[in-house]
Amino acid sequence: MSSIKMFEKPLGMRDTFPQIYEKVEAVRNTGRDFLCSRGYEFIKTPAVEYFDTVGKASAIADAHLFKLVDSQGNTLVLRPDMTTPIARVATSKLLKEMIPIRLAYFASVFRAQETEGGRPAEFDQMGIELIGDNSVFADAEVIVTAMELLQQYGLTKFKVTIGHAGILNCILQDYTESVEQQDILRTLLVQRNYVGFEEAVESFDLPKAKTDALLQFIEEAMNLKQIKDIEKYVRKNDALEYMQQLAKLLEIANLADYVAFDFTLSSHMSYYTGMLFEVFALGSGFPLGNGGRYDGLLEVFGSKVGATGFSIRVDRLLETLDGLANEREEAVVVLFEEEQFEEALAKVQALRVAGKQATLQLRSSLVDEKAFLAYFSEVVVVGQEEVGGE
Amino acid sequence: MNELTIAMPKGRIFEEAYQMLLEAGFNLPEEVEMSRKLMIEIPEEKIRFILAKPMDVPVYVEHGVADIGIAGKDVLLEQQREVHELLDLKISTCYIASAGLPNTMMNEIAPRIATKYPNIAMKYYKGIGEQVEIIELNGSIELAPMIGLADRIVDIVSTGRTLKENGLVEYEFITDVSSRLIANPVSYRMKGDRIIDLVRRLKKCVN
């Protein structure tokens, strides 16, 4: 280990320079206006939570949590997501006032530090939680909101893939012969190891009809344009009806073009009991975000009202928005000499009242006047007549 | 049609996989000049190959700078990256095994394992209830037991000739290895038509 140099930040941490800051701020403002206009209220929770509560309940695997110890010796985590803290606040307080509730956030979340680049330990997430509504309309609202939020940023090349834990479970139950086989297959799907899935199915020595059905399922079920394509694999059940209804609602909302169904979608977390989805867009190598129904998480916190939501990673959203306008407002600098301070102050205040972004700068402090002035669209030198910008 | 970037390992696997793509009916030049080029453009099919070290293929694919890639199962097991494993190409097949000097037992107190695959080795020995110490090497692993650095090695074996020539014997079979077609999760969704078509066509050529 080399010693720490003075300029270094802890592993996985990033600075936000003014240019990026403005972009993030633009994304935040657009998102905030959009979500507020749909009745979602913004909320903030502490950056640090107990490992035993939020840490253990979170969908983020234990090894990926950023852990600390408090002065009493309790293990703490830097919040790994916003869904779990919001579930904590909602069940302990907010749900007593109103059901359902609609909450939104824009906050940084944390992961265990990793040595490989491109895996920040802190990044911003934006999302919503709709808590206390069990209906398919709530799930539809969440998916529609996610898609329309992306449209709000001018994204057109994105895709949402939707699956349902209930349908996957039904298929795995029907075509295998033991719980162990189901677990093996589910684990392989979480790892997205489709080759392993086929190998496992063949090694189970199932009746030919079941083997064939599973092999055909794995070939087709990752990318279904329409919900009716899955119907031949599943018995009529609640999950299927639910998804049929959801598909219809998305069609009514005119967003069916952005949707694909993937019934191999599976989460390592058992509390994703219902619909779940992932959001992809060209421009980022990693998924933009995900969401789903997480009734089980609320149960961990002692409530049975059900909840659904989504989150988008802001850093990845920015990668897909490289065309995002980065115009600096009209920026004026007022240069003055020491004895001209009063005059300069009046000048700069007049500019600010006129709505301009105006900087006041003592001329003799400039080290490289040319480099400094390049940042401004207009330069005013006190005591001289207006001088044009660059 | 979207441009498709394919990460390939240099050398024999590239040649075999390239043959499979030709068989699958892709309009590629019969011969590619392999010289020192790291990127090969095939405008006819809107395909771009990038040539990487075998260990690096999943890195390019996970980060999305390559849409798909061909990677050994050994590398996938070792790195556990977030990629979709779509197809077993059944080329460059071999297996991972442990090996050591004949008729030797592992050290009781601190058995030492030399390997290029620290994660695979650690997981295997954990699985059989054995706590071992790993020594990571980059090549010529067979040296380690010969010279007394480790009790066992964990490495890929294709014919077993290298082991034999160095007086080592195989102890335990760990897992089968072959080349796999992998895909970036975002590319799989956004360029799904092309990738699924490629998988279907290649699947017919796998024997």
**Which of A111, A159, A195 has the highest number of chain B CBs within 10 A, making it the mutation to test binding with B?**
A195
CB contact under 8 A, B82 and A192: yes
pLDDT digits (tens, 9 = 90+) for B2-51: 899 999 998 888 989 999 999 999 998 877 766 678 899 999 999 999 99
State the smallest CA–CA distance between residue B66 and chain A in angstroms: 9
CA distance A362 to A337: 6
Show residues of chain B in contact with A191, CB under 8 Å. 85
CA distance A120 to A123: 7
Is B63's Cβ below 8 Å from some Cβ in A? yes
- For residue A203, being part of any structural domain is answered with yes
A153 and A9 in a single domain? The answer is yes
A321 and A342 in a single domain? The answer is no
CA B142 to chain CA centroid, nearest Å = 19
A39 and A145 in a single domain? The answer is yes
Q: What does the buried/exposed string (b/e) look like for A154-178 if buried means 16 or more CB atoms within 10 Å of the residue's CB?
A: ebeebbbbbbbbbbbbbbbeebbee
Q: Token pair for residue A83?
A: 């869904």
Show residues of chain B in contact with A199, CB under 8 Å. 88
Domain enclosing residue A356, as ranges:
331-381
A14 and A152 in a single domain? The answer is yes
Is B156's Cβ below 8 Å from some Cβ in A? no
The tokens 């904590």 sit on which residue?
A88
Single residue among A205, A226, A259 that ends a domain in this structure: A259
A53 and A7 in a single domain? The answer is yes
A149 and A178 in a single domain? The answer is no
Q: Where residue A377 sits, what CATH number does that domain have?
A: 3.40.50.12590
A226 and A311 in a single domain? The answer is no
CA distance A162 to A265: 8
pLDDT digits (tens, 9 = 90+) for A52-69: 999 999 988 889 999 999
B145 and B158 in a single domain? The answer is yes
pLDDT digits (tens, 9 = 90+) for B88-141: 999 989 999 999 999 999 888 899 999 999 999 999 999 999 999 999 999 999
pLDDT digits (tens, 9 = 90+) for A327-381: 566 789 999 999 999 999 999 999 999 989 999 999 999 999 999 999 898 999 9
A10 and A149 in a single domain? The answer is yes
In this prediction, residue A325 carries a pLDDT of 57
B85 and B124 in a single domain? The answer is no
- For residue A390, being part of any structural domain is answered with no
B107 and B136 in a single domain? The answer is yes
State the smallest CA–CA distance between residue B49 and chain A in angstroms: 18
Residue in A118, A193, A284 closest to B85 by CB: A193
B77 and B99 in a single domain? The answer is no
Give the rounded percent of residues in chain A with a pLDDT score beyond 70: 96
For A76, the 3-state DSSP assignment is strand
Is B148's Cβ below 8 Å from some Cβ in A? no
B63 and B102 in a single domain? The answer is no
B116 and B85 in a single domain? The answer is no
Residue in B63, B64, B190 closest to A159 by CB: B190
As beta bridge partners, residue A128 has: A104, A310
Which element (helix H / strand E) includes A358?
strand A357-362
**Domain count across chain A:** 3
Q: At what angle do helices A165-175 and A238-252 cross, to 10 degrees?
A: 140
B21 and B122 in a single domain? The answer is no
**Which of B86, B119, B186, B198 has the highest number of chain A CBs within 10 A, making it the mutation to test binding with A?**
B186
**Domain count across chain B:** 2
A231 and A176 in a single domain? The answer is yes
B84 and B109 in a single domain? The answer is no
In this prediction, residue B32 carries a pLDDT of 74
In which order are the strands placed within the sheet that holds A357-362? A357-362, A331-336, A378-381
For A229, the 3-state DSSP assignment is helix
Q: Token pair for residue B47?
A: 């395909």
A133 and A180 in a single domain? The answer is no
- As a dihedral over the C-alpha atoms of residue A35, residue A40, residue A45, residue A49, rounded to 10 degrees, the angle is -100
Q: Where residue A297 sits, what CATH number does that domain have?
A: 3.30.930.10
Residue in A157, A198, A286 closest to B64 by CB: A286
B159 and B100 in a single domain? The answer is yes
Record the pTM.
0.88
- For residue A269, being part of any structural domain is answered with no
State the smallest CA–CA distance between residue A282 and chain B in angstroms: 7
Q: Where residue B147 sits, what CATH number does that domain have?
A: 3.40.190.10
pLDDT digits (tens, 9 = 90+) for A340-355: 999 999 999 999 999 8
How much is the ipTM here? 0.84
A150 and A14 in a single domain? The answer is yes
Residue A192, Cβ neighbours under 10 Å: how many? 21
Rounded to 5 degrees, φ, ψ at B148 are 90, 20
B108 and B121 in a single domain? The answer is yes
Contacts of A367 (CB under 8 A, 6+ apart): none
Domain enclosing residue B162, as ranges:
94-176
A312 and A339 in a single domain? The answer is no
